[in-house]
Every structure is written in C-alpha cells, then in structure tokens.
C-alpha cells in the first residue's frame, strides 16, 4: 500500500481534532469501526513487516508508533496525563510520531485480539495485569527485554524498582514493563474522623480497627463508614488478591488453578462480608463509593492509588484528605498486590520494535514517571525520584498521599495469574459470581467460593 505523507503540522491538527470530538460524543459501534479502519489505513506503514531499521538519533528518517491505551482519550486526568507524556516524548524524539488509540479498560484484550486478527495490532499496548497472562497466550507479544541490547536494557532499568521487575518476570525475563502501577491504600476523611471522636493521626492498621472506626463514623458523624473496593468495576481482582494474601491465603495456586476455596481465602472474604452485614460498609458499587467519598459522605475508601488525583481534586476546599497503608489481618503482615498496567510490544518489524522500545524507555524514565505521578497519580516506579529535587521531591513535599503506597512498594505481593488462554474469563467469573454476591449480597462464603472454584476450573479447561 502507498500512502502519501502528511505534514507533521497537519497530523498534529488532525489528532487534536479527533481528541476534541472524542471528548464530547460517544461513537456508535459502526462509527468506531470506521474511525479505527481509517486510522489503520492512514498508518498502514507502522507495522508493515519491513526489514527497515529504526532511525538513528538525529536522523531525518521518520517513523510512527501506534499506542493503544485505556488512559488515553478519557476526559479526565488520565487522558490529559497520557497526552502530556506523548507530547514530551515527541519533543525529545522529533523523528518518531506516536499515534494513540483510546479503548475502554474492560475491552483492551478483545480489541487487541480483533486488531491482531485483522493484521493491524498496535506497536505498543497498555494492558492491565489481570489480563496480561491471557495476553501472553493469545497475542504475538514480543518480550520487551529481548528488544534492546543487554547494556541498553540495564542502563534503562537502573533505578527502577527491581522488586517489581522481578515480580512481573515470566520465564526469567520481563515481557511487559510495569507502567501505570498502583497499590491499594486507605483513603480517609480526617474531618469525619474528628467528628466521630477519632484521632486522624492514628488511622486504623488492621481490618478489625477499620470496622470499629467505620461504625463510629456511621454512628457519630452521620456518614457511611468504609468501603473495601473488592467489587471492582473494571473486573480486576487486585484487591481481592490483596485481601486474601493479607489473611495468609492465595487466590491462585502455584499451578495456576483456583485456591480461593481454601480456609484463609474464605475467611478473608467472610471478613469483607461482615463489614457489609454489620453496617460498617454500604452495599453499593465501587463507582458509587468513590463518588460518595469525594462528596464527603464516606469516611474511608480502601482501593487503588490510581484515584488519588481525582479524590484530591474532589476534596479540595471540602475536607482534609489523608492516606494510610493497606490494613492487615491481626498480626499478619499486610500483603497488598499491585494493580494497573504494563507496556507490551506487538510491533511486527525490527524498526518499529526499536521505536516502540524508545517510547517505552521514555515512558518509564525519570521524566516519564514525573509526569505519570504528578499528572495522573500512579506511583513512581523509580523510588528515588520522590526525593530528587529535579523530579518529584517538590511534589512529595507538598503531597503526602502517595507516600504510604510508595513505602510498601518493595513489599508488594506479585500478582497471581490463572493458567491458560482464558485467564481473563476466570477473573471475571470470580469477581461476578463469588466476590460480589458474598460481599454485597450476603451469599455464603464457603459454599459460594467452592462452587465458583469448580466453575473457574471449567473455564480454564480443567476438571
């Protein structure tokens, strides 16, 4: 296919026009397909299978990188932050143009399968960790660590959280680089704590203390007490895994099959149910809980630090927002796992794989994480940036909300993945058929988890 080159100025104007339109209207399925098809035609050279090499530094040779992102295109801080990253990268790499594509977080895997089948996968994709195991099985992902030289990889990853890199390794290598990562914490309304007679400088550290403080808030402050966001609207199980692991159990066994029907896991979800039945926790969706917390009607929200920036914006001028570390079960150490996404490469040829690596290297650089943390609210996976005056020291000096999560980064539990190509369906089955009925609707924890464990084994093709 031969496509006439458009000027850089025209491409920039067109991209801004698409951004403006996408921000003010919903596309019908047919219109969305038409837009995607048009974009694919316009970018047909981006993954053409050519044996060309990536343009050298300072070269006038141009290349484009297509980037599928669930943050991009959203009308909130996630979309703005992602655009800021793209703009900064293109300024630093004038010979590489990024062609971003937005997608709903729940549709990432389906979209990637569709695009791959059509022969037009993006060069780089932001994939949630709950879908990553299935993505490795279903998609032609090129391990990121295989693209650069060993020296380039080591230099790029110097200062990166080595604990987290080790946690995401598959078969001894990093196939997808951690990108937008968050760890669950306790967000709490210090004003409601005071109104309930609680000391906001001494937030709860255990699940039992969370329940006690939540009931005090409900009784004395006229607000709802707490919400553990285990019923995740994005169908992710990161908080389910965090709760189970903190009670000494596992959601997924070492064999990649369900272990959530074992006593420790049953006890963890029974404790979540007890919060609801006792009145400490409202039986509402996570989306409604976030809205209630932002409106000052909920004392504590236990969930991802990904909502930090939006909660900070909602609370400004209304109440004092604080955070604390993820709570433990009694004397057991808290064992939160990470949520968010990694960056995977699906580029077909060497030139685009190398350009994709340059993009990923920038996104996960000191400058990249400074933008990610300050504009979106995800953790800086280069912890030293928090005290570096060139980068995030001023941000952390003025904003302590991410500090508890950053302190837990080296102790975070690895995300556990189910085995096989239907790992993502297994997560959805657990969340929809077990976690939600148990936590919000009073289903029997032991029998429900036992039944759904059998169901999930069937989903995974196991008896």
Q: Are 200 and 300 in contact (CB under 8 A)?
A: no
Query: At 179, is the secondary structure helix, strand, or coil?
Result: strand
Check pLDDT > 90 for residue 345. yes
Structural tokens at position 429: 């089955």
Domain of 125?
8-182+340-409
Check pLDDT > 90 for residue 413. no
Q: Please, which pLDDT band fits residue 235 given cuts at 50, 70 and 90?
A: confident
Q: Please, which pLDDT band fits residue 377 given cuts at 50, 70 and 90?
A: confident
Residue with tokens 């316009």: 42
Output the pLDDT for position 463: 60
Check pLDDT > 50 for residue 288. yes
- With a threshold of 0.85, does the pTM exceed it? no
- 64, containing H or E segment: strand 63-69
Q: Which residues of 5-15 are buried (b: 16+ CB within 10 A; e: fewer)?
A: eeeeeeeeeeb
Examine residue 283 and state whether it is found in any structural domain, yes or no: yes
Q: Are 409 and 325 in contact (CB under 8 A)?
A: no
Output the pLDDT for position 273: 98
Cα 264 from Cα 259, distance rounded (Å): 10
Q: Which residues of 62-94 are buried (b: 16+ CB within 10 A; e: fewer)?
A: ebbbbbbbbbbbbeebbbebbbbbbebbbeebe
Examine residue 3 and state whether it is found in any structural domain, yes or no: no
How confident is the model over 123-143, as a mean pLDDT?
Answer: 93
Give the Å distances, CA to CA, from 49 to 59, 121, 187, 201, 268: 21, 12, 48, 58, 49
- Strand intervals (E) in 80-200: 96-102, 124-128, 177-182, 185-189
Domain boundary among 369, 392, 409: 409
Does 199 share its domain with 314? yes
Output the pLDDT for position 53: 52
Output the pLDDT for position 308: 86
Output the pLDDT for position 31: 40
What does DSSP assign to residue 331?
Answer: T
How confident is the model over 211-232, as a mean pLDDT?
Answer: 96
Per residue in 144-181, pLDDT (tens digit) is 999 999 999 999 999 999 989 998 999 899 999 999 99
Check pLDDT > 60 for residue 116. yes
Query: Diameter of the chain by CA atoms?
Result: 71
Examine residue 2 and state whether it is found in any structural domain, yes or no: no
Examine residue 91 and state whether it is found in any structural domain, yes or no: yes
Highest mean pLDDT among 74-88, 347-361, 416-430: 347-361
Half-sphere exposure of 141 (CA within 13 A, CB side): 26
Give percent above pLDDT 70 in the chain. Answer: 87
Output the pLDDT for position 420: 85
Check pLDDT > 50 for residue 212. yes
Does 157 share its domain with 249? no
Cα 381 from Cα 393, distance rounded (Å): 14
Does 296 share its domain with 386? no
Does 300 share its domain with 371? no
Q: Please, which pLDDT band fits residue 78 given cuts at 50, 70 and 90?
A: confident
The chain-wide mean pLDDT, for the chain, equals: 87
How confident is the model over 179-198, as a mean pLDDT?
Answer: 96
Output the pLDDT for position 105: 86
Output the pLDDT for position 339: 85
Does 385 share its domain with 313? no
Q: What is the CATH number of the domain that holds 443?
A: 3.40.190.10
Examine residue 425 and state whether it is found in any structural domain, yes or no: yes
Does 291 share its domain with 167? no
Give percent above pLDDT 90 in the chain. Answer: 71
Give the Å distances, CA to CA, from 110 to 275, 406, 425, 430: 35, 32, 11, 19
Q: Please, which pLDDT band fits residue 59 given cuts at 50, 70 and 90?
A: low
CB within 8 Å of 173: residues ≥ 6 apart: 143, 145, 146
Examine residue 266 and state whether it is found in any structural domain, yes or no: yes
Structural tokens at position 185: 């914490």
Output the pLDDT for position 25: 39
Examine residue 230 and state whether it is found in any structural domain, yes or no: yes
Does 284 share its domain with 165? no
Output the pLDDT for position 24: 37
Check pLDDT > 80 for residue 233. no
- Strand intervals (E) in 286-445: 298-303, 321-324, 339-345
Does 176 share its domain with 189? no
Does 311 share its domain with 190? yes
Examine residue 1 and state whether it is found in any structural domain, yes or no: no
Q: Please, which pLDDT band fits residue 368 given cuts at 50, 70 and 90?
A: very high
Cα 241 from Cα 326, distance rounded (Å): 13
Half-sphere exposure of 87 (CA within 13 A, CB side): 12
How confident is the model over 434-440, as a mean pLDDT?
Answer: 97
Does 375 share its domain with 267? no
Q: Are 231 and 237 in contact (CB under 8 A)?
A: no
Does 159 share its domain with 270? no
Number of domains in the chain: 2
Cα 406 from Cα 187, distance rounded (Å): 14
Q: Please, which pLDDT band fits residue 60 given cuts at 50, 70 and 90?
A: low
Q: Please, which pLDDT band fits residue 408 given cuts at 50, 70 and 90?
A: confident
Check pLDDT > 90 for residue 241. yes
CB within 8 Å of 158: residues ≥ 6 apart: none
Per residue in 447-457, pLDDT (tens digit) is 999 999 999 99
Between 11 and 331, residue with greater pLDDT: 331
Check pLDDT > 90 for residue 41. no
Does 290 share its domain with 169? no
Q: Please, which pLDDT band fits residue 54 given cuts at 50, 70 and 90?
A: low
């Amino acid at each position: 296919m031969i496509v006439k080159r458009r000027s850089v100025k025209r491409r920039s104007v067109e991209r801004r026009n698409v951004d403006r339109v996408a921000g003010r209207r919903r596309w019908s399925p047919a219109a969305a397909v038409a837009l995607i098809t048009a974009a694919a035609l316009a970018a047909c050279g981006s993954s053409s299978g050519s044996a060309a090499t990536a343009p050298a530094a300072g070269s006038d040779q141009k290349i484009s990188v297509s980037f599928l992102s669930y943050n991009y295109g959203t009308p909130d801080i996630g979309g703005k932050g992602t655009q800021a990253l793209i703009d900064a990268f293109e300024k630093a790499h004038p010979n590489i143009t990024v062609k971003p594509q937005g997608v709903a977080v729940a549709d990432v895997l389906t979209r990637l399968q569709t695009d791959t089948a059509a022969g037009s996968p993006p060069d780089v994709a932001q994939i949630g960790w709950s879908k990553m195991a299935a993505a490795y099985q279903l998609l032609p992902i090129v391990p990121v660590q295989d693209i650069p030289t060993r020296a380039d990889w080591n230099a790029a990853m110097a200062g990166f959280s080595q604990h987290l890199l080790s946690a995401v390794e598959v078969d001894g290598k990093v196939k997808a680089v951690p990108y937008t990562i968050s760890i669950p914490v306790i967000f709490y309304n210090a004003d409601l704590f005071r109104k309930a007679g609680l000391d906001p400088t001494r937030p709860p550290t255990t699940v039992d203390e969370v329940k006690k403080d939540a009931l005090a808030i409900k009784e004395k402050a006229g607000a709802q007490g707490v919400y553990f966001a285990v019923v995740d609207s994005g169908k992710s199980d990161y908080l389910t895994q965090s709760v189970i692991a903190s009670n000494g159990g596992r959601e997924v066994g070492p064999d990649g099959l369900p272990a959530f029907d074992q006593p420790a896991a049953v006890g963890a979800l029974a404790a979540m149910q007890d919060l609801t039945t006792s009145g400490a926790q409202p039986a509402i969706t996570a989306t409604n809980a976030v809205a209630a917390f932002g409106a000052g009607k909920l004392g504590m929200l236990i969930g991802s630090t990904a909502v930090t920036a939006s909660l900070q914006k909602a609370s400004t001028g209304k109440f004092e927002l604080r955070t604390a570390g993820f709570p433990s079960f009694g004397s057991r150490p808290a064992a939160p796992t990470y949520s968010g996404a990694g960056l995977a490469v699906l580029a077909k040829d060497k030139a685009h794989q190398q350009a994709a690596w340059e993009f990923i290297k920038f996104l996960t650089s000191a400058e990249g994480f400074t933008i990610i943390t300050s504009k979106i609210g995800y953790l800086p996976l280069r912890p030293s940036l928090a005290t570096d005056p060139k980068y995030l020291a001023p941000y952390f000096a003025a904003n302590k909300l991410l500090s508890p999560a950053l302190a837990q980064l080296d102790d975070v539990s690895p995300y556990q993945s189910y085995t096989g190509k239907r790992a993502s369906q297994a997560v959805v089955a657990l969340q929809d058929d077990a976690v939600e009925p148990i936590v919000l609707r009073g289903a029997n924890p032991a029998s429900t988890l036992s039944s759904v464990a059998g169901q999930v084994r069937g989903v995974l093709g196991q008896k």
